[in-house]
Amino acid sequence: MAVYKPLVVVAGKLQQIQNGYTLVGYDGTQKTLFDPASPIYGFAGTTTTGFVVKTDALGGVTTRQITSSGNTITLTNVDGVAGDPNFDIAATYVGQTSITTLGTVTSGTWNASTIDIAHGGTGATTAATAFNALSPAVTSGDLIVGTGTGTSGNLSIGTAGQVLTVSGGSLVWASPAITTFNEQTGTTYTFALSDANYNTMTAFNNASAVTVTLSSVTGFSVGASIDFIQKGVGKVTISPLGVTVNSVSSYLSISAQYGAATLIQESTNVWYLIGSLAA
């Protein structure tokens, strides 16, 4: 039985359709109308909406739709028919069980377990307990002190009667300084920087002329004070040398035995003399 192949006119020439997709002219030339290995060849055979994909080398095609699993992502327009596909985090998504890498969190409310000290937290939920967790103080009365650049430590409480002072550049507890006496038995004396000490009393046992000289010589600073007492019966008199000494009625002597006085430097080389004074 003869098989008749359809004829078509192409570019003004009568040509024959061979195997459904190739034109064969009577001059022997061939022109491919379409390639059955192309995905387009099977496109018309798809019956569902979605994205068309090639499934094999022979031109097989099928449709695919975007899907998700679990309560992680909400998808809309998964087949692209009604519009562009859209991805969003599902409202029911509870998060990951672990995070290996995390960028900067710029907003939001922290709602999780407390972070322990080993991981950069305090392990506490209030400011007071957080401070106590990080504090080096261990017992009542302890002090937190700097022990170096960027470091701190604990200074235990001292004993009754001790005061906080500095020794060797560090805070220490020590017994308070007691007054010491600078006993003078001569008849002349010049006050020195060591006399300007709140716990030093210069005691004159004999009549004495006591010189107060320039701060550039002695090293006295503004606010320095010198305490002294007339321990003997001989009169003790202040003799200014290059400085100004102001006192009541310009008195410069101690009034009697066991009388005491104080010199206070108000400004450089200007002193006040107060106490039990006489002419």
Residues 215 and 261 occupy one common structural domain: yes
Q: pLDDT tens-digit profile of 233-279?
A: 999 999 999 999 999 999 999 999 999 999 999 999 999 999 999 99
Residues 203 and 267 occupy one common structural domain: yes
Residues 209 and 151 occupy one common structural domain: no
Q: Tell me, what CATH number does 208's domain have?
A: 2.60.120
Beta partners for 230? Answer: 204
> Can you give the pLDDT at residue 72?
75
Q: Tell me, yes or no, whether 38 lies in a domain.
A: no
Which residues of the chain have a pLDDT value below 70? 1-46, 58-59
Residues 251 and 199 occupy one common structural domain: yes
Rounded distance, CA 213 to CA 267, Å? 14
Name the pairing type of β-strands 30-32 and 22-25.
Answer: antiparallel
> Can you give the pLDDT at residue 138?
80
Residues 216 and 146 occupy one common structural domain: no
> Can you give the pLDDT at residue 21?
52
Residues 186 and 145 occupy one common structural domain: no
Domain residue limits at 267: 180-278
The count of structural domains within the chain is 2
Q: Please provide residue 118's backbone torsions phi and psi, each rounded to the nearest 5 degrees.
A: -60, -20
Q: Please provide residue 15's backbone torsions phi and psi, each rounded to the nearest 5 degrees.
A: -130, 160
Residues 184 and 166 occupy one common structural domain: no
Q: Tell me, yes or no, whether 270 lies in a domain.
A: yes
> Can you give the pLDDT at residue 18?
52
> Can you give the pLDDT at residue 24?
56
Q: Which of 143, 174, 205 is the last residue of a domain?
A: 174
